[in-house]
Copies of this chain bind each other. A is one copy, B any other.
Amino acid sequence: MTEIATKLIDKVNTPDDLKHMEISELYSLSDEIRELIIKKVNTTGGHFGPNLGMVEATVALHYVFKSPEDKIVFDVSHQCYPHKILTGRKEGFTNPDMYSKYTGYTAPEESEHDLFKVGHTSTSISLATGLAKARDIIGGKENIIAIIGDGSLTGGEALEGLNNAATLGSNIIVIVNDNDMSIAENQGGICNLLTELRNNNGNVQNNFFKALGFDYYYIQDGHNIESLIETFSKVKDADHPILIHMHTQKGKGFEPAMINKEPFHWILPGTLDHLHETSDSQIDESYESITKDYLLKKVSEGLPIVALNAATPGVFAWDKDFRTKMGSHYVDVGIAEQQAVAMASGIAKRGGKAVLGIMSSFIQRAYDQLSQDLALNNNPATILVFWGGISGADATHLCTFDIPLISNIPNIVYLAPTCKEEYERMLDWSVKQNDYSVAIRVPMAISYSGEIDNTDYSNLNKYKMVEKGEKVAIIALGSFFEKGKEVKNLLADKLGINATLINPKYITGLDKEMLDSLKSSHTIVVTLEDGELDGGFGEKITRFYGNSSMKVLNYGSYKEFTDRISLEDLYNKYHLTPELIVEDIHRTI
């Protein structure tokens, strides 16, 4: 970092400190911000390309507009690092001891310059229409600015937002940050029309945004501070809806990230230090690799497989090699989870074998489609839910809600494998059957039972009695099956109890026969699930025993948005350690 550069960032504590800088200083400041981001993100991990692409635009926004009176809403908000640096939180980037002080997303509790806590995409325009409407009713005059990436624009909420923003009749400024990229490649008609606009400097015969009613502006170089300031100044205080289409480069200023955008969207700590090392070609077996191998094999056998996802192939390691081999059997619908679920249902209806990969936190973007488009029609599509479970994630990306979400919808068979053998059997069953809409909760860490699984999963809701004991029965679901084993062992050690251990396999549906059979020789049933208790798996077991004298203890996470709390702390809070569970059992006996 140069001497001068360091001095510039030192001068900036609020956006006001930018307002008297020369353009040349704004460029230098941008360089400094970029350097801070590169260094910090390479240390902590985090969103890389999206932030590098927004440096100059953020500087120009704060130069022209007056935050927090003027309100800037970031979509997803994983591109807000420059904004955080300029709004009193630069210590989170300059001081390594403070690197973890601020979240990677906008957070109203951190700063009045942040309007919403946001981590799912496609929300900024709709949220901004609300700010604008309230301003108009109350009588305010500020600018309302929604920033949205081209990738986020494909999500239904964003399009609903555009439709409404266009006819708001007052000030709202939508900035489409077009970097020609979603998380993976961009998809669909909107991607094409943005490309055409870019290729024609914003002048085309059929302008999508003008058609909707926006006053449209195009910025060819979203890193040119003069053009940014010129356009932002032009539209500031406009009395009608504006759409600025701004062309930027994802990863700007860090060449490898500009060339190879997808792997630099989000990076692990130290990534930039190992750019020239080739990755170990010996990849360990994982649920991701098993899934890919299975899908490729079935395609080669002639099954009409369609592997679908909504812009997050990286979550399942559906890398370029896999996509190429799958060819037309691979579909990325863009950030459009509703489309993904409905399309899967349509594929299944027509005899195709749809396998939709989705991250637990994002399946909730398609509840109505799961219910109406899929389950109500009983179409035999397969949904693979990845990353489900309690974690130290940001509040915006928790994966604890998929069981309450999916399992209370009629007709869906939701399965929880505990090992490779079960997962392969369940996946194969689901793909080949034609009767049920199926979801499978894919565990994070691989494990092996060493037993061949020959189960016919069409015989619904048959739990597996793993070890028959007495007094206490442990029903340990999916990724918590190993925890169930540990509880069983500790019960033997500590209390001399030979507990029963059950692997329920089915999240949806009770094995009433087995549950009934427990009554004669057990007084306590313990349920373990890796997700929210409220509305989850265990409560249904408890309800089953409601009219009996069986005591039931349910373990899982509480109904809360936790934010970057360590797994250890969460497990202690939720009594999710074998020791705490055995203590509870001891107290209950």
Contacts and interface: CB of A to CB of B under 8 A. Distances in A.
Interface of A: 71, 108, 115-120, 123, 126-138, 140, 154-167, 187-193, 204-208, 210-214, 304-306, 328-329, 331, 333-334, 336, 338-339, 342-352, 354, 364-365, 367-369, 371-373, 375-377, 395-396, 401, 404-405, 407-411, 532-536, 538-540, 542-543, 546-549, 551-554, 559-561, 584, 588
Contact of A343 (B126, B154, B212): B126
- A204, A213, A395, A553 pick with most chain B CB within 10 angstroms: A213
Nearest to A207: B206
Given A376-B561, A539-B539, A328 B136 contact: yes
A354 B118 CA distance: 20
Given A133-B331, A167-B188, A364-B368, 8 more contacts: A115-B349, A130-B349, A134-B352, A134-B354, A137-B304, A164-B339, A207-B211, A405-B408
A189 B212 contact: yes
A140 B351 CA distance: 11
Contacts of A133: 306, 331, 343, 346-347, 352
Given A163-B189, A167-B187, A377-B108, A404 B401 contact: no
Given A160-B159, A189-B162, A540 B546 contact: no
Nearest to A193: B211
A306 B156 contact: no
A540 B553 CA distance: 12
Contact of A336 (B163, B213, B331, B369): B163
A377 B127 CA distance: 11
Given A160-B338, A339-B126, A137 B306 contact: yes
B561 A410 contact: yes
11 contacts: A108-B377, A129-B346, A134-B306, A137-B352, A138-B304, A157-B342, A164-B334, A189-B211, A376-B561, A546-B554, A549-B551
A329 to B, nearest CB: 7
B364 A376 contact: no
Nearest to A339: B160
Contacts of A157: 156, 338-339, 342, 368-369
A134 B351 contact: yes
B539 A543 contact: yes
A127 B373 contact: yes
The 3 closest A-B pairs by CB, nearest first: A130-B346, A156-B156, A134-B352
B347 A130 contact: yes
A541 to B, nearest CB: 9
Contacts of A369: 123, 126, 157
Contacts of A126: 338-339, 342-343, 346, 369, 373
Contacts of A354: 130, 134
B329 A404 contact: no
A130 B367 CA distance: 18
Contacts of A401: 371, 408-409
Contacts of A162: 189
A559 B212 contact: no
A60 B335 CA distance: 36
Contacts of A208: 206, 208, 211-212
Nearest to A526: B546
B534 A538 contact: no
A56 to B, nearest CB: 27
Contacts of A137: 304-306, 328-329, 352
A588 B211 CA distance: 66
A410 B404 CA distance: 12
Contacts of A559: 408-410
Contact of A167 (B71, B192, B539): B192
Contact of A189 (B167, B187, B376): B167
Contact of A127 (B167, B210, B346): B346
Contacts of A373: 116, 118, 123, 126-127
Contact of A547 (B339, B345, B547, B551): B551
A275 B181 CA distance: 57
A349 B116 contact: yes
Given A162-B189, A190-B212, A368 B129 contact: no
Nearest to A197: B211
Nearest to A128: B346
A336 B164 CA distance: 9
A352 to B, nearest CB: 3
A199 B267 CA distance: 51
A410 B155 contact: no
Contact of A546 (B328, B368, B536, B552): B552
Given A134-B351, A206-B210, A546 B535 contact: no
A130 B353 CA distance: 11
Nearest to A137: B304
Contact of A372 (B123, B138, B376): B123
A560 B410 CA distance: 5
Contacts of A376: 117, 395-396, 561
Nearest to A558: B410
B164 A404 contact: no
- A127, A187, A333 pick with most chain B CB within 10 angstroms: A127
A70 to B, nearest CB: 12
